[in-house]
Amino acid sequence: MRRQLELSNDAAAALAGHEDAILRALEGHVECDVFLRGNMVTLEGDAGVVDAAATVVSELAALADSGHDIAPGTIHAVTGALDSHRSPAEILDDVIWRHRSIKVAPKTVNQKRYVDSIRQNTVTFGVGPAGTGKTFLAVALAAAALSRREVNRIILTRPAVEAGERLGFLPGDLMAKVDPYLRPLFDALNDMLDPEKVAGFLEKGVIEVAPLAFMRGRSLNDSFIILDEAQNTTPEQMKMFLTRLGFNSRMVITGDITQVDLPREQQSGLIVVGDILSDIDSIDFIRFGGEDVIRHRLVQRIVEAYDEHAGRQAPELRPADRKRA
């Protein structure tokens, strides 16, 4: 079957991309031949595939005409949304934070579910592989909540256990010791806010970045609290953290159960908590999979292989679509 679609000048330019990069990415998603000459897109292949591809091209053209930047990740978002019977614009137009040239919005259906869950629930768990935007989106939502004065402070924390190293073996004072563990959170913050503003907030205590052990014995009110790398918590540490929740606060817990750095005999608090809290109101679990990785396609395949293995080890934390299958 052969089908042609006429596009606007802006949509045609966006669809071509730099050196036809967008067209090549599009062909990789729609499984038919795609040609662009002038403002005319030609699709060739089996009838059902061509019809599906025409829908994707039309959605991409509409996004380009409305001012969206079209990138390979946009194609992934559009195809994922259509597969889930969702509007691509509904996902990509949900801008949760703007700062200078940075515009943060969900790029996959699961990222949209995650963002909505954080807005609607007191405690949200984001469980899945690296590259799915769990921490980045949470920090963006925290910055937005602080700017709207919905909370008085942001608290970012991580367990200080990674790759077999311990704090005592690292050089320097306490902050120098914890810096390697907390640096990814600082980087995310500096993407959201000017470094000078981050430094001022840190000095005033409006933003706090600290190891998980510093949370013990506290009640965290009027705060947006993010626990990152939660797969490296013990069940006792997870319980301690969750019971720090105070009034008018929100918690986001992120982690990847395929990257646990605890001793082999030690259970991960992130795995155990799925059994304990899954039926409690205002607590939600969003499970990401390889399809949510916004990176090279080979990375997605690697993540999917690890995800299948982890799912066999801990079925309660499988991505939702695979759990139902």
CB 229, CB 162: distance < 8 Å: yes
**Strand residue runs (E) in 183-306:** 207-211, 223-227, 250-255, 283-287
CB 10, CB 64: distance < 8 Å: yes
pLDDT in tens, 191-248: 899 989 998 998 999 999 888 988 999 999 999 999 999 999 999 999 999 999 999 9
What DSSP element (H or E) covers 158? strand 153-158
From the list 311, 263, 262, the residue with the least C-alpha distance to 287 is 311
Tokens representing 33 are 């031949």
DSSP letter at 230?
Answer: G
**Residue range 22-51: average pLDDT?**
89
Report d(CA 62, CA 11) in Å as an integer.
8
**Residue range 109-128: average pLDDT?**
94
**Which one of 3.40.50.300, 3.40.50.2300, 1.20.120.1080, 2.30.30.760 gives the CATH number of domain 99-324?**
3.40.50.300
Answer yes or no: CATH 3.30.1370.10 is held by domain 2-92.
yes
Please report the pLDDT score of residue 160 as a whole number: 75
**Residue range 282-306: average pLDDT?**
78
DSSP letters for 163-198: TTB-GGGS-SSHHHHHHHHHHHHHHHHHHHS-HHHH
pTM above 0.85, yes or no: no
| Count of C-beta atoms within a 10 Å radius of residue 257 | 24
pLDDT in tens, 123-170: 999 999 888 899 999 999 999 999 999 999 999 999 876 444 454 544
pLDDT band for position 314 (cuts 50, 70, 90): low
Instruction: Point out which residues pair with 158 in neighbouring strands.
Output: 211
Q: Residue 275 contacts by C-beta under 8 Å, 6 or more apart in sequence?
A: 316
Tokens representing 290 are 């390889």
Please report the pLDDT score of residue 164 as a whole number: 42
DSSP letters for 29-77: HHSSEEEEETTEEEEES-HHHHHHHHHHHHHHHHHHHTTPPP-HHHHHH
Lowest-confidence pick of 42-51, 53-62, 95-104 = 95-104
* Domain segments of the chain as ranges: 2-92, 99-324
Please report the pLDDT score of residue 195 as a whole number: 87
DSSP letter at 127?
Answer: E
pLDDT at 313 over 80: no
Please report the pLDDT score of residue 119 as a whole number: 96
Please report the pLDDT score of residue 292 as a whole number: 79
Please report the pLDDT score of residue 163 as a whole number: 40
The answer to whether domain 2-92 and domain 99-324 are alike in fold is no
Whole-number mean pLDDT of the chain? 84
**Residue range 66-76: average pLDDT?**
77
Residue 86 φ then ψ, to 5°: -115, 155
